Amino acid sequence: MSNDARFTVLDTIRRQLAADPDVETLIDDSPEEAYARIPRNYQRTSKLNREETLELFYDRLRDYDSELVFTDEAGIAKAVAHAMREANETLLLVPAGVPQEWLPQNDVEVRRDFDLPLQPLEEPRVVLTPCTVAIAMSGTIILEHSDEQGRRAATLLPDHHICVLWRDQVVETIAEALQRITHRTSPITTIAGPSATSDIEMTRIRGVHGPRRLTAIIL
Amino acid sequence: MSVRVGHTAEKPAFPILAHELLQDDQTRRNVRHATDVIRNKRALRVAEMPDWQDLRTTAHAIKTHTLLHLPHYLEEFERNCIRAGGQVHWARDADEANTIAIRLIRHAAERLAVEHPEVIKVKTMTSDEIGMNRALEQQGITPWETDLADMIVQMGKDEPSHIVVPALHKNRHQVRELFLQNMGLTELGTEAEDLTGAARHYLRKKFLEVGIGISGANFAIAETGSVCVVESEGNGRMCVTMPKTLITLIGIEKVIPKFDDLEVFLQLLPRSATGERMNPYNSIWTGVTPADGPQEFHVILLDNGRTRMMANVRERETLNCIRCGACLNQCPVYRETGGHAYGSIYSGPIGAILSPQLNGMKYSRSLPYASSLCGACYEVCPVKINIPETLIHLRGKIVAQDQNTLSGKLSQESMGMKMAAHLFEHPKQYEAAQRLARTGQGLFEKDGKLVNLPGMAAGWTQYRDLRALPKQSFREWWKRSHTDRGDGSSGVGDE
């Protein structure tokens, strides 16, 4: 049945296109050649300098009520510990590949996600990961799910996501950001502020099913 | 073929439904408020983009290009999805898609050793289009809508009234009532936060326990075989991540050529749909990833009337639609009636062209007339669908269709048009008809306007008044004022 359907759908499209007298002139070259001719006059590359790009990004994050912490690589563990204390949390979920040096030594119990079953995975209310790239224009953080950035469930079930990012990971446009995604067939999640809905009277409400809090540790 | 678009086959025409809805002050207030808010937010977010028109131009070009090479891109998507561990099924129509989904759900439920299969669903208008929930329920499968608005619609046994915000016709007090009845709660606050909190708690269990997920797709990327779901609440991430088996229903027009094309659509869609620079979450996944998310992934590629629209540029362009809903919020007709007047889950301007075409012009035939052709929809459309032109094209199609039937040929409209054409060709007869009408109109004239005309003119005056014919026509005035001079120059405006 399914094979018949496949044939019918593809065949119908071809026949329909052939029935349009205007189409012939439009498709006399290969899809690749025609694709290359698509006009792209929108902004693809950066117009701002580094400082302006970063300022814009911080501004967008604050606009989403995210918390921003500025430190250096040596200060990550301290910043994480501080964020945990502020949130009154003691159990921290980390993907298998997150560096040991990022983890607080005292007062925080660290749970590494080595293929944890659902229940222990769901328990921690804070998760710590790095990301691949961030977009200043829209305040977006992009995760390419891996050992280091964790499987998708790890950054979804906890209520509070602490994300570590380097300043040079911040780009201005989405076009630049997509160029930095190298493993395009691994699962990818883009995050712009905490989970939200405007479904009730068009009022934006923070936090429905995804993490309600985002802390960005910026290096 | 059993193409189906929601309940369009059983619905009365737009004027009848609209007439009823216009009496409902509460709904009209809710719709007006919601569309005002999104319109303003959208305008703000579009104004900060100096390259907005360039983005629209590119989006239109990408969609046009993809549709002209659709078989190529569908096959490429299929190949890459399968290579990554996905399974691809093709469905010609609603029934075929539902049959495939039910078979897949049954198999998955068997493996999960679940006696009464349940599925968690993330908002997919395409599943509403094919009436999936009803089909599943008839087979003893329980679908749980997890998008807040869709859940509200499902609990209220209601129908979506907007393609992005399906419960926009309900205010929070009405939502609260529904939640109290359906969630087994005894107490619930009235603030929107209370309601979202209740939804979070209610659905968490489902996300963790139900082993089968169903999603739609905003984009299917041919180059990589990836699927992209755009959302805000996190229910989408839940539905595509937590279940063991995921079934994704994709209209064939949702394919885009390359991963990089997302840089265009992910800018246009959130700003147009909800007035956000970027929606909180996008999930992009490719086939099956070991130890991350569903280990069984099925795609159902759906036609359901789409291929019918491929033979003409005006019709094909309708398939550019990325379902942002901007045209609904902007439409002076939608803003008065709300979505239910359209009798289709696809309402507003885009619904007025999409619903009848998917239906092969058999149902939703009143919708191309549910527009003042003001063009506001075209201006805001992020993929530049020329909706007003398409509305006119479809009106022409409907008239031509009707004229092919005997009753259509003999209809008042058709006869009237033929008579008018004859009169316009014969000036003497035209003038005689004018004089006759002037004498006759006295009976129906009221304050210089004609109301409640009889016979075949009744259709016109049912909805608006017609200005009465003046005492003297232009031609009569011309003749009179120029016979005196005999020089052919006009009596007025002559310098």
Domain boundary among B308, B341, B361: B308
Tell if the CB–CB gap between A12 and B301 is shorter than 8 Å.
Answer: no
**Lowest-pLDDT range, B160-174, B301-315, B427-441, B451-465?**
B451-465
**Residue B188 is assigned to a structural domain of this protein:** yes
User: Is B333 in a helix, a strand, or coil?
Assistant: helix
Tell if the CB–CB gap between A195 and B312 is shorter than 8 Å.
Answer: no
Whether B184 and chain A come into contact, CB under 8 Å, resolves to no
Q: Tell me the residue range of the domain where A15 lies.
A: 2-36
**Residue A42 is assigned to a structural domain of this protein:** no
Does pLDDT of A18 surpass 50?
yes
State whether A110 and A135 are in the same domain.
Answer: yes
State whether A122 and A184 are in the same domain.
Answer: yes
Number of domains in chain A: 2
**Residue B381 is assigned to a structural domain of this protein:** no
Chain A (136-195) residues lying within 8 Å, Cβ to Cβ, of chain B: 137-140, 145, 151-153, 156, 173-175, 178, 181, 184-195
Segment B383-410 mean pLDDT: 92
Segment B100-121 mean pLDDT: 96
Tell if the CB–CB gap between A17 and B311 is shorter than 8 Å.
Answer: yes
**Residue A41 is assigned to a structural domain of this protein:** no
**Residue A45 is assigned to a structural domain of this protein:** no
State whether A77 and A22 are in the same domain.
Answer: no
Whether B33 and chain A come into contact, CB under 8 Å, resolves to yes
pLDDT digits (tens, 9 = 90+) for A144-173: 999 999 999 999 999 999 999 999 999 999
CA distance readout (Å), B196 to B19, B149, B175, B208? 34, 11, 10, 18
State whether A16 and A57 are in the same domain.
Answer: no
* pLDDT over 70, % of chain B: 97
Instruction: Determine the pLDDT at residue A175.
Output: 97
**Residue B1 is assigned to a structural domain of this protein:** no
**Residue A18 is assigned to a structural domain of this protein:** yes
Q: Which one-letter amino acid corresponds to residue A94?
A: V
Q: B362 or A3: whose pLDDT is higher?
A: B362
**Structure pTM?**
0.92
Residue of B nearest to A38 (CA): B61
Residue where the block lists tokens 């509200």: B152
**Residue A136 is assigned to a structural domain of this protein:** yes
Q: Are strands A140-144 and A188-191 parallel, antiparallel or unpaired?
A: antiparallel
Does pLDDT of B493 surpass 70?
no
| Average pLDDT score, chain B | 92
Rounded CA Rg of chain A: 22
Number of domains in chain B: 2
Report which listed range, B1-15, B342-356, B453-467, is most confident: B342-356
pLDDT digits (tens, 9 = 90+) for B36-73: 999 999 999 999 999 999 999 999 999 999 999 999 99
State whether A18 and A80 are in the same domain.
Answer: no
Tell me the chain B residues in contact with residue A178 when contact means C-beta distances shorter than 8 Å: 259-260, 262-263
**Residue B194 is assigned to a structural domain of this protein:** yes
pLDDT digits (tens, 9 = 90+) for B44-54: 999 999 999 99
State whether A109 and A86 are in the same domain.
Answer: yes
Chain B (136-175) residues lying within 8 Å, Cβ to Cβ, of chain A: 146-149, 152, 165, 167-168, 171-172, 175
Chain B (312-371) residues lying within 8 Å, Cβ to Cβ, of chain A: 312-313, 316
Q: Are strands A196-197 and A205-206 parallel, antiparallel or unpaired?
A: antiparallel
pLDDT digits (tens, 9 = 90+) for A170-217: 999 999 999 999 999 999 999 997 777 877 877 778 778 889 899 999
**What tokens were used for B264?**
């265009």
Closest Cα of chain B to A61: distance in Å?
12
Instruction: Determine the pLDDT at residue A25.
Output: 67
Instruction: Determine the pLDDT at residue A2.
Output: 55
Domain boundary among B308, B329, B347: B308
Domain of A81, CATH number, reads 3.40.50.10420
Alpha carbon distance A187, B313 (integer Å):
36
**Residue A43 is assigned to a structural domain of this protein:** no
CA distance readout (Å), A106 to A70, A85, A120? 21, 11, 21
Segment A51-57 mean pLDDT: 97
pLDDT digits (tens, 9 = 90+) for B195-242: 989 999 999 999 999 999 999 999 999 999 999 999 999 999 999 999
**Lowest-pLDDT range, B84-88, B130-134, B475-479, B480-484?**
B480-484
User: Cβ distance A192 to A62 under 8 Å?
Assistant: no
Does pLDDT of B494 surpass 70?
no
Q: Enumerate residues 6+ apart whose C-beta is below 8 A from A184.
A: B224, B226, B259, B286
Domain boundary among B265, B291, B308: B308
pLDDT level of residue B456 (50, 70, 90 thresholds)? low
**Residue B337 is assigned to a structural domain of this protein:** no
Chain A (79-108) residues lying within 8 Å, Cβ to Cβ, of chain B: none
Domain of B116, CATH number, reads 3.40.50.10420
Chain A (3-42) residues lying within 8 Å, Cβ to Cβ, of chain B: 5-6, 8-10, 12-14, 16-17, 19-20, 22-23, 26-27, 31, 34-35, 38-42
User: Cβ distance B428 to B413 under 8 Å?
Assistant: no
pLDDT level of residue B485 (50, 70, 90 thresholds)? low
Task: Classify each residue of A49-59 as buried b or exposed e, where b means 16 or more C-beta atoms within 10 Å of its C-beta.
Answer: eeeebbebbbe
| Count of other CB atoms within 10 angstroms of residue B447 | 7
pLDDT digits (tens, 9 = 90+) for B15-32: 999 999 999 999 999 999
Instruction: Determine the pLDDT at residue B495.
Output: 38
User: Cβ distance B283 to A145 under 8 Å?
Assistant: no
Tell if the CB–CB gap between B69 and A38 is shorter than 8 Å.
Answer: no
**Residue B371 is assigned to a structural domain of this protein:** no
DSSP annotation of B442 reads: G
CA-closest candidate to residue B119, choices B133, B131, B129, B130: B133
Instruction: Determine the pLDDT at residue B310.
Output: 96
Q: Tell me the residue range of the domain where B473 lies.
A: 411-483
> Among B307, B314, B319, B328, which would you mutate to test the A interface (most chain A Cβ atoms within 10 Å of its Cβ)?
B307
Instruction: Determine the pLDDT at residue B315.
Output: 97
Alpha carbon distance A157, B237 (integer Å):
10
Beta bridge partners of B86: B297
User: Cβ distance B339 to B35 under 8 Å?
Assistant: no
**Residue A65 is assigned to a structural domain of this protein:** yes
